[in-house]
Amino acid sequence: MKLESNKFVVRLCTLLCLLFIFLCEGCKKLIDVDPPITSLTGKTVFATDATSISYITGIYAQLASASIANGGITSSSLYLGLSSDELELYSGSTNTVLRSYYKNALNSSATGGADFWQSLYPIIYVCNSSIFGITNSNTLNPQVKKQLLGEALFMRSLCYFYLVNLYGDIPLILSTDYTVNSTVSRSPKSLIWKQIISDLIEAKDKLSNTYLDGTLLGSSIDRVRPTKWAASALLSRCYLFTADFVNAETEANTVINESSLFSITTLTDVFLNTSQEAIFQFQPVNAGWNTEEARLFILSSKGPTNTRPVFLSSNLIDAFEQGDLRKDYWTKSVTKSGIIYVFPYKYQSATLNDPVVEYSTILRLSEQYLIRAEARAQLGNSSDISGAVSDLNIIRRRAGLADYSDLLNKKNVINAIIHERQVELFCELGQRWLDLKRTGQIDDVMSIVTQMKGGSWDTRWQYYPIPLAELQKSPNIQQNLGYE
């Protein structure tokens, strides 16, 4: 990713802070400090607690305020859902970008700006400038400095998690030096994962073990700033994805055992801002609205339209077992011209000026149980298998389903866990697409599903194309195989 000059970070910093000022009235719980100045340099932005906090808070505000279709982290629920077997696209949709994702027919110029590469690398750049600036500041409150460093490391890790999963080998940008960044080439996935895990280990050490308010000196009931538990939760996921099952279980244990903070709640409470299952959430900052997920996914009596063009696929609907309460509580349907359209209903408020009661949930406890279950099953001895089934049954009981009692071998348990992830984590930040890839099931599933969508499948398309504009600016970066 070529960055033309060091002025980029100043401009981006200013943009983030201006965005912060614009949004602060709708973001009081997250941001409870004075607005920062709008003419900033690397030295001044990290000179005080207030401006430093505002700079980092700008990252959350930018991610939370973005449309779900703009290629940010929350966009993964839409685009990865369309790429996989979760979502169907309305046949009357004229959105060529959505259709390209849906038919697995992307090319380097087909993303129309709705692209994770171009959305997440600028965030990484801001995180890098934050890490450098905060580390070298001698004027910050030590407690604030430590927390902000942890937050920047955590957010950089979260961005890289999606980039490495979606593109494979990618540039590893750790500085703000444009002379270095403009000539960078792609690093092996193994090196990216190593950096993600290293960052999260450091973040875990620096982040608070309690949820903090906007000053970072007081506590908060909201879970909108990362804690050490969020770092552990993301670490457990990363260890699972890299087949380090011992550490995946250890980190999941760390979160699950913190029962004073986290518990499996009722299906109706999971995605509320008061949820005890939430580990880390994005607070809505668009005035008058709850989540962007609800605004996109909830269909009116008109059925799917160009503005709300997606609904749940028959593959997902058929995956629910008889009596699964998640289908009752987390999906809803409308009938139009005799056709029943079932849509995601995890987030349920899509009305302007409704009270804000739902936050976009980035990490939650049930995933930790499923990670621990899979890690235990992969370790494979009899006590691990028993523990895996026990974890799996905790999730099933909440859904009103009977316990598994006859899963006696590793293969059956892992298959049951993958099924449970499909119906528990559907339309949550692309979990299904990532699971198909990491478990090696993607070719078997997508060779059938893509044909049903009217396309054809090529295994190389499990990685998205790098945007043409980025290739033109960065001659040392090569396109992913399978794309022009």
What's 385's domain CATH number?
Answer: 1.25.40.390
Q: Which of 168-182, 434-448, 470-484 has the highest mean pLDDT?
A: 434-448
Contact call for residues 84 and 462 (beta carbons, < 8 A):
no
For the chain, how long is the longest CA-to-CA vector?
A: 67
How much is the pLDDT for 111? Answer: 62
Cα–Cα distance measured from residue 44 to residue 456, given in angstroms and rounded to the nearest whole number:
54
Nearest to residue 363, comparing CAs of 297, 425, 422?
Answer: 425
Average pLDDT on 456-471 reads: 93
pLDDT at 180 over 80: no
Does a structural domain hold residue 396? yes
How much is the pLDDT for 329? Answer: 98
The tokens describing 233, both together, are 């939760």
How much is the pLDDT for 17? Answer: 47
What own/partner pairs with CB < 8 Å and gap ≥ 24 does 396-405 have?
Answer: 396/420, 398/264, 398/266, 398/267, 398/325, 398/366, 399/267, 399/324, 399/325, 399/326, 399/423, 399/424, 400/323, 400/324, 400/325, 401/321, 401/323, 401/324
Predicted confidence band of residue 6 (pLDDT cuts 50, 70, 90): very low
| 219 secondary structure, DSSP code | B
State the amino acid at position 371 in one-letter form.
I
Average pLDDT on 354-376 reads: 97
Q: What is the pLDDT of residues 404-433, one digit of tens each?
A: 987 778 999 999 999 999 999 999 999 999
Work out the end-to-end distance of the chain between its first and last CA atoms, rounded to an integer number of angstroms: 19
Contact call for residues 455 and 101 (beta carbons, < 8 A):
no
Residues whose CB is less than 8 angstroms from the CB of residue 298 and which lie 6 or more positions away in sequence, other chains included: 308, 332, 343, 344, 345, 347, 348, 350
Cα–Cα distance measured from residue 128 to residue 185, given in angstroms and rounded to the nearest whole number:
18
Percent of the chain with pLDDT over 70: 90
pLDDT at 178 over 90: no
* Count of the separate structural domains present in the chain: 1
Does a structural domain hold residue 426? yes
Does a structural domain hold residue 112? no
How much is the pLDDT for 383? Answer: 87
| 459 secondary structure, DSSP code | G
Interaxial angle between packed helices 442-452 and 431-438, expressed in degrees from 0 to 180 and rounded to the nearest 10:
130
Beta bridge partners of 334: 341
Does a structural domain hold residue 100? no
pLDDT at 223 over 90: yes
Cα–Cα distance measured from residue 370 to residue 233, given in angstroms and rounded to the nearest whole number:
12
Predicted confidence band of residue 349 (pLDDT cuts 50, 70, 90): very high
Lowest mean pLDDT among 18-22, 133-137, 175-179, 428-432: 18-22
Does a structural domain hold residue 20? no
Contact call for residues 267 and 330 (beta carbons, < 8 A):
yes
Does a structural domain hold residue 42? no
Lowest mean pLDDT among 129-143, 176-190, 235-249: 176-190
Lowest mean pLDDT among 118-122, 212-216, 398-402, 461-465: 118-122
State the amino acid at position 132 in one-letter form.
F
State the amino acid at position 122 in one-letter form.
P
How much is the pLDDT for 30? Answer: 46
State how far the alpha carbon of 472 is from the alpha carbons of 10, 29, 170, 433, in Å.
Answer: 24, 42, 16, 29
| 269 secondary structure, DSSP code | T
Percent of the chain with pLDDT over 90: 79
Torsion sign, CA atoms 241, 245, 251, 253 = positive
Phi, psi of 379 (to 5 degrees): -70, -35
Return mean pLDDT, the chain. 90
How much is the pLDDT for 112? Answer: 59
How much is the pLDDT for 75? Answer: 93
Q: What is the pLDDT of residues 106-136, one digit of tens each?
A: 988 766 556 899 999 999 999 999 999 999 9
Does a structural domain hold residue 48? no
Does a structural domain hold residue 90? no
State the amino acid at position 45 in one-letter form.
V
How much is the pLDDT for 22? Answer: 40
State how far the alpha carbon of 52 is from the alpha carbons of 130, 156, 285, in Å.
Answer: 8, 16, 20
Domain range for 286 is 227-346+359-455
Cα–Cα distance measured from residue 306 to residue 427, given in angstroms and rounded to the nearest whole number:
19
The tokens describing 47, both together, are 């000179």
Report how many helices (DSSP H) and strands (DSSP E) the chain contains, helices first: 20, 6
Q: What is the pLDDT of residues 261-297, one digit of tens each?
A: 999 999 999 999 999 999 999 999 888 999 999 999 9
What is the pTM for the complete model shown? 0.92
